[in-house]
Structure 1
Amino acid sequence: MQTHISTTPFGRRSLTLGMISSQVTAKTAPADATVHKWQVFADIKEVRIALGATDRALAILNALLSFHPETAFYGDSALIVWPSNEQLINRANGMSPATLRRHLANLVDCGLVIRRDSPNGKRFARKGQGGEVEEAYGFDLSPIVARAAEFKDLAEALKAEKKAYRRVKERLTICRRDIIKMIDAGIEESVPGNWGRVLQSYQTIVARLPRTAPRQVLETIVAELEDLWSQIRDVLESFVKSTNMSANESQSERHIQNSKPDSKIDSESRLGIKEEASGSAGEASNVQSLPRRELPLSIVLDACSNVVWVVKSGEIRTWRDYLAAAELVRPVLGISPSAWDDAKAAMGEREAAITIGAIYQRQDQIKSPGGYLRSLTDRAKAAKFSVWPMVMALVRAKLDATKASGAAEETVATAERVMRTEKRLEISDALRQTMGKWDRDK
């Protein structure tokens, strides 16, 4: 081999401190070190992004390794290969010469190979009489041996990080699922507690979750969710213990009966919900005379403006947005999933959502929103309920409040537009009486 090893690149390429650092590192390889070149290459692929290597650069490195006849690399062996650009292009899947040069420079910058350029920049080797290589100019692969342990440690650390990230994502998914289902169970089984506030706490935590987050951020959010999970779990377990589940069969049967919707209606009625489904002939004729046209979304939002508060964007532009907002409002009001499903089945999804919005608008005046919704659902099943008088009563109340306080003319114009809508639809006297009844119920 040559007595003087080239340390500077040929031509206009400048020498950098990074190149010198790579050359210094290559000299630190122990003479007795032995590595498997393809195993080291597998580690390099794992940590490619951390090293700053491109995927094309690794394709070239793969080609360079294939030009060395030995699979095992030793610390004291000559590891210089001298393929031409044409040979490299053929083994690197036919990339262009400009692309080849650019990614060869990337390999040098990353310290994966070292340039050993000849005086004229050509790559070649001179052999002695015995066929042994005496001088070689090309690419030195000694960093593969010198940095093999570093690549292995980086690959193992990256695998551990990926495993930890996957586990925290699994914890996040399971914790979110458990919290939502436990909140639904608490509402469904009438467990005492402010479940609306619990849901708001959950939504506040989840709202801080970015679309793509590092593991440390996920760990913080999961820790808060697990704390909330523990609190909810304690409440549910305490309630189960207090009901003495080990009692006799009759007690268990009575507990199950009390959890059914029919019994819940009775308990909610005792809380002060006024029964409106009287089923009188006057009310039946009134419902028959209600407008058959669907309510415009703009009027619904004028009447039930509080629904916008629960929307993260602060805007509701379509019925789909409104239905999604109603799904968020339902647990805040403490309405059980079964009551919500019954309402959608009896009224239709859109009218049930409008009803939820109206109840949310008057939540400070309704003692038990769940019982009230079940009452309206029963009326809807008997074809004695429509959302029109409910919405119109809210609009009229807003109009009266606006006129009394001398608020902005824009709101007055909106309310007057609603009144023109009433006139255009020829609302009956019976409907106006029902609207007045809603005003009196407040």
Structure 2
Amino acid sequence: MLSRNVTTPFGRRPMSLALIKGQMRAAEIKPGKTADKWKVFRDACEARAVLGIQDRALAVLDALLTFYPDNELCEERGLVVFPSNDQLSVRAHGIAGTTLRRHLAALVDAGLIQRKDSANGKRYARKDDSGEIEEAFGFSLAPLLARAEELALAAQQMAAERRRFRSTKEALSICRRDVRKLLTAAIEEGAAGDWGRIEGMFLELTGRIPRTPTIADIEPILDEMQMLREEILNRMEIQEDSQNTDSNAVQNERHIQSSNTESSNELEPSSGTEQGAKPSQNIWPTRVAVKAFPLAMVLQACPDIADYAPGGTVANWRDLMSAAVVVRSMLGVSPSAYQDACETLGPENAAAVMACILERGGHINSAGGYLRDLTRKAARGEFSLGPMLMALMRANGAPGCKAS
């Protein structure tokens, strides 16, 4: 059986168990089986990544198929083509001889063709008296016919993988755009949150995307990017709910005050010493009346803050507050500490304080602790922003000096 179904290569080319297995599989083709040679060729092109062959090897296979006279591969009509290397080179668009031989070997190794070598290694056909080909030596296309269904399935799987990769890559691009724009909106509009840390996570994720990614590269990045987007949206939703709650509380308080007409004393300031007076139990944050200074004055006292603003310049209070959020994260100030400062001093003054802390960064050991201390003093009426700004303005007015 082996002597009929297996042929060994001519010359120094070695025999291998893989070649024996391929030849035996090609010998088991069911009688009458046919396949469209160009359909099989297209499937091989689709599955080239699985087969481990290059485009030039497929060009050589295409040239080989042109020497097969029929469109249908059929064992009864013979499956061996026997062109010379010169003829193959012409039909393979002038491929060089050494390159041609290398890609022919690659097609053999991939199990797409088989060598059927003559005794002297020449390719030719022996015909009978009627002119019909009795035996041919060259390249057998039997593996293509034997593996037609396998190649079709591999082509379908590769096409599905490409669609999956394309959709995953598109989803990552959209999610990446969402996160970037949501972060920009949150920072520019001064929304409370640890946006500097989140932006750092975003930059770390985008930095992990390879120049030529695979599906295995981008799927975990997409999962993490989607989680980051959800975190941003949750923070924004929580803040919006908090703002709505505060607004409703203020409206309810006003409604109660305007509805209670039993005593006109309710509309007068109370000293807290009247009979029946009770200590105040306000559950909402109390904003202290801290004087707001001109933006130009803050920038003159604290020029370094502009480096952290959008576009590297502070054109309005919104830009200053956006820069303050970045600086807060950079200096390690907790979100709660900065939120307390915003509620006590107001967002503009809190941003100005962060600018001052940045300017005096070399003289402050703990920026977070320093901000909390200033917030407590402001709540007691013991802190004024003016002297701090004036001191920094004097220090910046003398070249080479820093505030002490």
- The TM-score range, normalised by the shorter chain, is 0.5 to 0.7
2:20 counterpart residue number: 20
8 Å CA contact 2:187–2:325 kept in 1: the answer is: no
Displacement of 1:225: 2.4
Cα distance, 1:80–1:273 mapped onto 2, change above 3 Å: farther
2:66 counterpart residue number: 66
8 Å CA contact 1:343–1:374 kept in 2: the answer is: no
Displacement of 1:201: 4.3
8 Å CA contact 1:30–1:75 kept in 2: the answer is: no
Displacement of 1:49: 2.9
8 Å CA contact 1:112–1:141 kept in 2: the answer is: yes
2:126 counterpart residue number: 126
Displacement of 1:229: 2.3
Displacement of 1:132: 1.3
Cα distance, 1:132–1:186 mapped onto 2, change above 3 Å: same
Amino acid across the alignment from 2:135: E
8 Å CA contact 1:343–1:373 kept in 2: the answer is: no
8 Å CA contact 2:196–2:325 kept in 1: the answer is: no
1:175 counterpart residue number: 175
SS at match of 1:120: coil
For the residues of structure 2 that align with 1:434 and 1:390, how far apart are their CA atoms? 18
Cα distance, 1:122–1:375 mapped onto 2, change above 3 Å: same
2:271 counterpart residue number: none
Displacement of 1:94: 1.7
1:157 counterpart residue number: 157
Cα distance, 1:271–1:46 mapped onto 2, change above 3 Å: farther
The answer to whether residue 78 in structure 2 is matched with residue 101 in structure 1 is no
2:254 counterpart residue number: none
The answer to whether residue 91 in structure 2 is matched with residue 91 in structure 1 is yes
For the residues of structure 1 that align with 2:162 and 2:48, how far apart are their CA atoms? 15
For the residues of structure 1 that align with 2:395 and 2:142, how far apart are their CA atoms? 95
8 Å CA contact 2:6–2:20 kept in 1: the answer is: no
8 Å CA contact 1:390–1:435 kept in 2: the answer is: no
2:372 counterpart residue number: none
Q: Superposed, which structure 2 residues align to 1:10-409 within 5 Å?
A: 10-188=10-188, 191-237=191-237, 239-240=239-240, 275-277=292-294, 326=308, 340=310, 343-345=313-315, 367=341, 371=348, 397=363
Cα distance, 1:357–1:80 mapped onto 2, change above 3 Å: same
Cα distance, 1:72–1:11 mapped onto 2, change above 3 Å: same
8 Å CA contact 1:273–1:371 kept in 2: the answer is: no
8 Å CA contact 2:79–2:142 kept in 1: the answer is: yes
Q: Encode CA deviations 1:213-235: one digit per residue, 9 max, x unaligned.
A: 43234222222322332343344
Q: Encode CA deviations 1:302-355: one digit per residue, 9 max, x unaligned.
A: xx9xxxxxxxxxxxxxxxxx96xx4xxx6xxxxxxxxx46944479x9xx9899
Displacement of 1:95: 2.2
For the residues of structure 1 that align with 2:326 and 2:192, how far apart are their CA atoms? 22
Larger Rg: 2
Query: Which runs of 5 or more structure 2 residues have no equivalent in the other structure?
Result: 252-285, 365-392
Q: Encode CA deviations 1:153-201: one digit per residue, 9 max, x unaligned.
A: 1111111111111111111111122223233334455555443444344
Cα distance, 1:354–1:52 mapped onto 2, change above 3 Å: same
Cα distance, 1:341–1:86 mapped onto 2, change above 3 Å: closer
Displacement of 1:112: 1.1
Amino acid across the alignment from 1:170: E
8 Å CA contact 2:10–2:120 kept in 1: the answer is: yes
8 Å CA contact 1:75–1:146 kept in 2: the answer is: no
Displacement of 1:431: 1.9
SS at match of 1:115: strand
Query: Which runs of 5 or more structure 1 residues have no equivalent in the other structure?
Result: 252-268, 305-321, 331-339, 377-386, 399-426
SS at match of 2:121: coil
Greater mean deviation of Cα atoms: 217-226 or 367-376: 367-376
Amino acid across the alignment from 1:158: M
Q: Please tell me the root mean square deviation across aligned C-alpha atoms, in Å.
A: 4.6
SS at match of 1:69: coil
Displacement of 1:116: 0.9
For the residues of structure 1 that align with 2:177 and 2:131, how far apart are their CA atoms? 70
2:397 counterpart residue number: 431
8 Å CA contact 1:393–1:435 kept in 2: the answer is: no
SS at match of 1:24: helix
Displacement of 1:151: 1.1
For the residues of structure 2 that align with 1:357 and 1:230, how far apart are their CA atoms? 24
8 Å CA contact 2:327–2:358 kept in 1: the answer is: no
User: What is the aligned residue count?
Assistant: 325
8 Å CA contact 1:113–1:143 kept in 2: the answer is: yes
8 Å CA contact 1:6–1:117 kept in 2: the answer is: no
SS at match of 1:102: helix
Displacement of 1:83: 1.0
For the residues of structure 2 that align with 1:214 and 1:342, how far apart are their CA atoms? 36
Cα distance, 1:74–1:274 mapped onto 2, change above 3 Å: farther
SS at match of 2:137: strand
Cα distance, 1:203–1:271 mapped onto 2, change above 3 Å: farther
Task: Name the % identity.
Answer: 36
For the residues of structure 1 that align with 2:125 and 2:15, how far apart are their CA atoms? 23
For the residues of structure 1 that align with 2:148 and 2:111, how far apart are their CA atoms? 12
Q: Encode CA deviations 1:25-82: one digit per residue, 9 max, x unaligned.
A: 2123222322111111111112223212233222221111101110011244311111
Q: Encode CA deviations 1:328-386: one digit per residue, 9 max, x unaligned.
A: xx6xxxxxxxxx46944479x9xx9899769955968974596259769xxxxxxxxxx
